[in-house]
Chains A and B, each alone.
Chain A
Amino acid sequence: MTTLAEPVATVPIRSGGRVLRRLGHNPAGVLGAVLLLVVVLAGVCAPLLAPYPPAEVHFTTPFQQPGTVGFAFGTDDLGRDVWSRVLYGTRTSLEVGLLSVLLAVVAGVPLGLAAGYWRRLDALVSRLADLMLAFPFLLLAVGLAAINGGGLGNAAISLGIANIPMMIRVVRAETLRLADSDFVLAARSMDAGPWRILGQHVLPNALSSIIVQATVIMPAAVLGEAVLSFLGLGIQPPAPSLGIMLSDAQQYLFRTLWPGVFPGIALALICLGFNLFGDALRDALDPKTVSEGR
């Protein structure tokens, strides 16, 4: 935990070295970073680590127990190697998560900046964000996925769009706060235009909030992808996805549970990594915050 007795910082952003040092002192944050490293390595190196292509079937060896020679995590109903599928599924989860975060940032940050700076735009943008927030997140994601159709790109787009309104809110609130600050007033008095003020003064100071929000979106998008795929609205078979593996496993779980255990553990580790790291990062970036859930 961070020390709460520290004097309140006047400039919210902290130097990179300081943040890293604070993160290093937080055991939960270190654990999260290590988990993330393992998960990302597993996803990136999936083609190297996986002994089989994820969709390769072995009809002669279905329902192998974990620990069988050649199939470390066992096989599923079609004899597909669960270890290979978990690796590729992790890769898919990370791809969808990353794309969703990118989309939410690319669309949400400029809109949030504009809404916080220009009052006229604010009415329009905030209403739009409010309208999107009127739908529960899961329902919005399911609806968008049903309209966009399945597949990795479409799932990422649906989850990214569903995350835009919260990003707008965060950036808008930061912009409102910063636009009133003395250094923006000083910049304005030196005849700085809106682009200069937003780009050089507001955005860099809002960066920490944006990064923290990104660490909130990432696990939500990973879980969202799994839910959509589980419901049949996300990744389409035979493409590997942890959510599809769980949905498949549910159909034959009375014969063997193992093909359903490993993808769940993988999902939990990904999300735990992002949650731990995100919490620690928030504490490190802002000494005032006591970590709280959304």
Chain B
Amino acid sequence: MGRYLFHRLWQSAVTLALASVVVFAGVRALPGDPALAMAGEEADPEALAALRAQLGLDRPLPVQYLKFLAQALTGDLGRSTRTGIPVTQMIGTTLPVTVQLAVYAMIIAVLAGTAGGVLASVYRGRWPEWLANGFALAALSVPTFWLGILAVVYLAVQLGWFPASGYVSPLRDPLRAVYYLTLPATILGIAHAAVVQRQTRSSMVDALASDYVRTARAKGLGRAAVVFRYGLRNSLIVVTTVVGLQLGGLIAGAVVTERIFGLPGIGKLTLDSVFTRDYPVLQAVVLVITGSYIVINLLVDVLYTVIDPRIRVSGRTL
């Protein structure tokens, strides 16, 4: 176990380091010039060169990368070339918004997904299964950003049930914060609920057909007890993995949701920095999202071996 943990930690660190190179190179490969964007199209060449030197853009790329890395390791991610605000501060204000949104969406996805999965597996071949499966299929096929737009128009503007956009910090007003995030989190969570539903259903179907469930039923245990204590509990292993893997994707998926609902999260920051060629912000934001994705995947892997000791680690996994 200790060796496995070390191996996975090391692997994740290497992946993260390589990812930082890729992100750095990728950001530099973007068409456009941040110095030109800052100084304006009419800037004279000398001022432009001075600005480039000030930003460190005139040095060779490996030097720029090492400088970025050295500063990043001390917690300094540079300043936005557009606003001059330290990048760590910008991430500090936007990341909590996205994390709240993602966690809220995940809670909705897990509750709706497991409920649908249990229904579908218990009532196999009858209308509750058709209904639950139909919902899952529709949720996977309908573009959720389209649903988001429709929800803004109908639920927010015409019916006035929810605010159409905006964000309230939970530190200021927890109830209003939940209220403001409900619609975006539901929209973001729908597709993930479908994935959880399908996963729960297929592993519940397996579990309910297993010998230990038959034994439990033969002992005279009630239907509900068998379904929840024997079926669902064993399916939760698989569901945990799926949920973990989805959480990373949720943070990236927030890019679109935040755009529709005007939330000041890290997804909005990503898009803004793409369009304004704000190198320091963009590389930091992408690294933060990717880093959290890698860390979550690592945690899921470790959790998985803890929950289910049958999983052995081999060098060449299938």
Q: Is the CB of B146 within 8 A of A275?
A: no
The verdict on A147 contacting chain B, using a C-beta distance below 8 Å, is: yes
Q: In the complex, what residues of B have CB within 8 A of residue A260's CB?
A: 146, 149-150
Contacts of B43 in A (CB 8 A): none
- The answer to whether A131 touches B18 (Cβ under 8 A) is yes
CB contacts under 8 Å to A, within B223-254, are 248-249, 251-253
Instruction: Name 14 interchain pairs, CB-CB below 8 A, sorted by A.
Output: A130-B15, A134-B294, A136-B252, A139-B255, A139-B286, A146-B274, A233-B274, A249-B149, A253-B152, A267-B142, A267-B146, A275-B137, A293-B198, A294-B195
Question: Do A293 and B199 touch across chains, with their CB atoms under 8 A apart?
Answer: yes
- With A131-B22, A138-B252, A294-B195 as contacts: A250 and B260 at CB distance below 8 Å: yes
Residues of B contacting A268 in the complex (Cβ-Cβ under 8 angstroms): 138, 141-143, 146
Q: Which residue of B lies closest to A293 (CB)?
A: B198
Say yes or no: A271-B140 contact (C-beta < 8 A), given A143-B286, A146-B30, A250-B149: yes
Within 8 A of A (CB), among B246-278: 248-249, 251-253, 255-256, 259-260, 270-271, 274-275
Q: Verify if B194 is at the interface (C-beta below 8 Å from A).
A: yes
Contact (Cβ within 8 A) A138 B255: yes
Closest chain B residue, CB of each to CB of A130: B15
- The reply to whether A131 and B195 form a contact with Cβ atoms under 8 Å apart is no
Interface residues of B in 156-183 (CB under 8 A from A): 157
Residues of chain A with a CB closer than 8 A to B270's CB: 139, 142
Closest 5 CB pairs of A and B: A136-B252, A264-B146, A293-B198, A272-B141, A271-B141
- B150 near A264: Cβ-Cβ < 8 Å: yes
Stretch at the interface among A8-16, A41-49, A223-231: A223-231
* Contacts between the two chains (Cβ within 8 Å), count: 131
Partner of B293, one of A131, A136, A230, A254: A136
Known: A134-B290, A142-B270. A147 touches B26 (CB 8 A): yes
**A-contacting residues of B (Cβ < 8 Å)?**
15-16, 18-19, 22, 26, 29-31, 136-138, 140-143, 145-147, 149-150, 152-153, 157, 194-195, 197-199, 202, 205-206, 248-249, 251-253, 255-256, 259-260, 270-271, 274-275, 286, 289-290, 293-294, 316, 318
- Band of interface residues on A: 35 or more
Q: Which residue of A lies closest to B136 (CB)?
A: A293
| Contact indicator per residue, chain A 205-219, by CB within 8 Å of chain B (1) or not (0) | 000000000000001
Distance from A56 Cβ to chain B, minimum over Cβ atoms (Å): 25
Expressed in whole angstroms, the minimum distance between the Cβ of B33 and any Cβ of chain A is: 14
Rounded to whole Å, the gap between the CB of B95 and the closest CB of chain A is 15
Chain A, residue nearest B197 (CB): A293
A134-B19, A267-B143 as given contacts; A276 in contact with B253, CB under 8 Å = no
Structural contact, B194 and A231, CB atoms closer than 8 A: no
Q: Is A182 at the interface (CB under 8 A from chain B)?
A: no
A176 and B318 in contact (CB under 8 A), knowing A227-B145, A231-B259, A292-B202? yes
Q: Which residues of A contact B15 (CB under 8 A)?
A: 130-131, 134
B149 touches A253 (CB 8 A): yes
- B274 with A142: CB separation less than 8 A: yes
A291 proximal to B (CB < 8 A):
yes
| Chain A residues numbered 56-104 whose CB sits less than 8 Å from any CB in chain B | none
Known: A130-B15, A136-B289, A267-B146. A253 touches B153 (CB 8 A): yes
Alpha-carbon distance between A97 and B3 when the two chains are bound, in angstroms: 43
Rounded to whole angstroms, the CA-CA distance of A253 and B260 in the bound complex is 12
CB distance from B139 to the nearest CB of A (A): 10
Please provide the chain A residues from 267 to 287 with a CB less than 8 Å away from any CB of chain B in the complex.
267-268, 271-272, 275-276
Find out whether the CB atom of A271 lies under 8 angstroms from the CB atom of B143. Answer: yes
Knowing A291-B198, A293-B199, the reply to whether A231 touches B255 (Cβ < 8 A) is yes
19 new A-B contacts at CB < 8 Å, known A136-B248, A142-B271, A246-B145 = A122-B316, A130-B15, A134-B294, A136-B290, A138-B255, A139-B286, A139-B290, A147-B26, A147-B29, A147-B31, A227-B256, A230-B145, A230-B256, A231-B256, A264-B143, A264-B149, A268-B138, A268-B143, A293-B194
Answer yes or no: A184 CB below 8 A from chain B CBs: no
Contact A137 B30, beta carbon cutoff 8 Å: no
Q: Check if B202 sits within 8 Å of A290, measured CB to CB.
A: yes
A177 contact set on B, CB distance < 8 A: 318
Given contacts A130-B15, A290-B205, A293-B198, contact A257 B153 (CB under 8 A): yes
Chain A residues with Cβ below 8 Å from B157 are: 254
- The CA of A230 and the CA of B19, in the complex, are separated in Å by 27
User: Are A135's CB and B290's CB within 8 A?
Assistant: yes
Q: Does A149 lie at the interface of the complex (its beta carbon under 8 Å from any beta carbon of B)?
A: yes
Q: Specify which of A246, A261, A293 is in contact with B195 (CB 8 Å cutoff).
A: A293
